[in-house]
């Protein structure tokens, strides 16, 4: 796992003041430090406005996508200091005629590469007619100037293990992370913030020649969208915030909500569904039986991890309790992954039993008996990271950007005490994620002197917020809280649904409302709900693991892969 009311123009300068910060849960009464209040956009130096992006075709011709890199200052408050950065941008124009509007997109993370947002938004038929669709890789990630935390210690220990030595290792790993990130990121780390990124976005807008932008942001992209609205209210068009953080509070609030939300998704959605189809899935005939199978499997893999060779020895995969937990949490994001998870749990259950009875060689023979296609699926799924509010994944730049943004943007309690208190409180009730509350570098992070304004929504056009009630990564409570404090917002609730990322194929009712808003500007007169369409039954054969199909965020990742790598 893997979250700001000023009607200001673009010519004001940032201010410097002394701020008193009271850090909750830290044991300290207060600390006084100088904070840079970045509450307004900076005027743009002419050299950035005069640049002419060189657009090149990226991806297959049928995607109609063109990409370019634009130059931005490393620090928008010091534009003449040098050290400029490159931001990768993508666009797709309507097939006929000149676009009358522009729609930006962000897939969240924060830190998710977003070049695929342009072809993805253009694939939504109602938008394709009049909108120029735009995606970009935010600073720090993808084809833009990267940050890195390469070499930083990972969390290979079991977060449920309350032994003092294990807790010390988790604390040490968290504390060491920033040192590695700083060493690898060549001074860029303090400038990977939302305050900098929204100014990159607005420069893209100006270079494309539009006065206002429409916007679709998922997950961490709701945070980015709300801050763009706050910094550039005069340039806000139709904004859709889907699967919401509480962007009216700090990142800590969003992360603290995850244990209950993931546990609810697992116990109230996946387990009953698996039990309903026990004759096909063989995980247990009741929700409780499914949960107990997971817990037994977790204990078994902790006692006897299974390291297997796949694809004739080309790839080794180690299955332990952490691998299992990442597989389960990663597949909670979309109901379309439930059958894949069920198949993987059954495979691991049988593999673990085989190893317990016959030893590692017997387990390896079981893997060797699988088809090459199934082995490839298992390898890909073992290495796949969750989408949206990610923690550990296979892309160093995305993970480093995720860490930098969440740790830099808002105040966190400092030291190990607060995280351990959270784990002790949440872990027993929500064990799937609750014990991992200690595994966060932000509790040890030396933030840049940065204070950003709190988003309020005042003076803005209507913002359409979209949320499923059982979203695991961004709890419904976050959307409800942000909605209650965000003036002029409308909340579209999808009941009987838990997917993270709704717009674009999860719910036809929700898609109609969002498309009407984006194409006509007509928002619901009041909060509205759509009924969920249910969890599909398991397929009669082994599930299809095609990453180009399924959930919106998965589709966007597929588009991003298809159009990335064409720029120097």
Q: State which H helix or E strand residue 310 sits in.
A: strand 306-310
Give residue 50's Cα distance to chain centre.
33
Burial environment of residue 404 by CB neighbours within 10 A (0 to 12, 13 to 18, 19 or more): buried
Q: Would you tell me how many other CB atoms lie within 10 Å of the CB of residue 207? A: 17
d(CA 307, CA 294): 19
Q: Going residue by residue through the chain, which has 568 residues, state the pLDDT in tens, using 9 for 90 and above.
A: 343 222 222 222 222 222 222 233 333 322 223 445 666 799 999 999 999 999 999 999 999 999 999 999 999 999 988 899 999 999 999 999 999 999 999 999 999 999 999 999 999 999 999 999 999 999 999 999 999 999 999 899 999 999 999 999 999 999 999 999 999 999 999 999 999 999 999 999 999 999 999 999 999 999 999 999 999 999 999 999 999 999 999 999 999 999 999 999 999 999 999 999 999 999 999 999 999 999 999 999 999 999 999 999 999 999 999 999 999 999 999 999 999 999 999 999 999 999 999 999 999 999 999 999 999 999 988 877 665 665 445 689 999 999 999 999 999 999 999 999 999 999 999 999 999 999 999 999 999 999 999 999 999 999 999 999 999 999 999 999 999 999 999 999 999 999 999 999 999 999 999 999 999 999 999 999 999 999 999 986 555 545 445 699 999 999 999 999 999 9
Q: Which residues contact 101 (CB under 8 A, 6 or more apart)?
A: 130, 131, 132, 210, 212, 214, 237
The answer to whether residues 426 and 259 touch, using CB atoms and an 8 Å cutoff, is yes
Q: Which residue has the tokens 């100037």?
A: 145
Residue 216 structure tokens: 């679709």
Q: Which residue has the tokens 């890195």?
A: 148
Phi, psi of 191 (to 5 degrees): -105, 10
Phi, psi of 140 (to 5 degrees): 105, -20
Alpha helices for 96-155 (secondary structure H): 117-122, 125-128
d(CA 432, CA 475): 15
CATH number for the domain whose boundaries are 46-148+189-253+451-563: 3.40.50.1820
Give residue 119's Cα distance to chain centre.
19
d(CA 171, CA 439): 8
Q: Domain spans of the chain?
A: 46-148+189-253+451-563, 277-383
Residue 344 structure tokens: 């993987």
Phi, psi of 85 (to 5 degrees): -115, 165
- The model's pTM: 0.92
């Amino acid at each position: 796992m893997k979250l700001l009311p000023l009607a200001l123009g673009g010519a004001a300068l940032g201010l410097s003041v002394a701020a008193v910060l009271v850090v909750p849960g830290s044991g300290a009464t207060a600390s006084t430090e100088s904070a840079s209040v970045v509450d307004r956009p900076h005027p743009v130096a002419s050299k950035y406005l005069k640049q002419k992006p060189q657009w090149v075709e990226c991806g297959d011709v049928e995607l109609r996508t063109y990409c370019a890199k634009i130059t931005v200052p490393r620090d928008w408050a010091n534009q003449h200091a040098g050290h400029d950065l490159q931001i990768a941008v993508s666009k797709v124009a309507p097939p006929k005629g000149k676009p009358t509007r522009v729609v930006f997109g962000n897939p969240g993370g924060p830190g998710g590469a977003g070049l695929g947002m342009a072809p993805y938004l253009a694939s939504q038929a109602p938008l394709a007619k009049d909108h120029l669709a735009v995606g970009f890789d935010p600073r720090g990630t993808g084809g833009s100037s990267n940050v890195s935390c390469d070499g930083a210690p990972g969390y290979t220990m079991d977060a449920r293990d309350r032994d003092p030595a294990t807790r010390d290792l988790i604390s040490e790993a968290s504390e060491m992370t920033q040192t590695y990130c700083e060493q690898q990121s060549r001074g860029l780390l303090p400038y990977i913030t939302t305050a900098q990124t929204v100014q990159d976005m607005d420069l893209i807008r100006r270079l494309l020649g539009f006065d206002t932008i429409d916007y679709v942001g998922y997950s961490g992209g709701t945070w980015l969208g709300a801050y763009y609205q706050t910094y550039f209210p005069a340039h806000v068009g139709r904004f859709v915030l889907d699967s919401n953080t509480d962007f009216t509070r700090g990142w800590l609030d969003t992360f603290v909500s995850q244990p209950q939300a993931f546990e609810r998704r697992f116990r109230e959605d996946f387990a009953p569904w698996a039990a309903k189809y026990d004759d096909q899935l063989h995980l247990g005939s009741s929700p409780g039986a499914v949960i107990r199978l997971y817990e037994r499997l977790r204990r078994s893999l902790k006692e006897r991890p299974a390291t297997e060779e796949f694809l004739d020895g080309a790839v080794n995969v180690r299955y332990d309790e952490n691998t299992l937990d990442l597989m389960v949490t990663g597949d909670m994001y979309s109901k379309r992954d439930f059958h894949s998870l069920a198949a993987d749990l059954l495979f691991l259950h049988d593999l673990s039993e085989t190893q317990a009875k016959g030893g590692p060689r017997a387990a390896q023979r079981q893997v060797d008996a699988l088809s090459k296609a199934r082995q490839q699926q298992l390898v890909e799924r073992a290495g796949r990271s969750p989408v949206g509010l990610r923690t550990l994944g296979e892309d160093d730049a995305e993970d480093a950007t995720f860490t930098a943004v969440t740790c830099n943007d808002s105040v966190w309690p400092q030291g190990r005490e607060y995280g351990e208190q959270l784990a002790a409180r949440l872990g027993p009730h929500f064990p799937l994620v609750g014990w991992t509350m200690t595994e966060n570098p932000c509790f040890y992070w030396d933030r840049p002197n940065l204070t950003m304004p709190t988003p309020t929504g005042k003076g803005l056009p209507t913002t359409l917020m979209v949320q499923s009630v059982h979203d695991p990564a961004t709890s419904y409570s976050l959307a409800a809280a942000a909605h209650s404090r965000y003036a002029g917002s409308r909340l579209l609730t999808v009941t009987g649904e838990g997917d993270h990322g709704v717009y674009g194929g999860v719910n036809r009712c929700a898609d109609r409302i969002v498309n009407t808003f984006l194409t006509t500007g007509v928002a619901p007169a009041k909060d509205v709900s759509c009924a969920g369409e249910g969890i599909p039954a398991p397929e009669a054969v082994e599930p299809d693991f095609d990453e180009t199909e399924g959930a919106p965020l998965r589709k966007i990742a597929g588009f991003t892969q298809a159009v990335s790598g064409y720029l120097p």
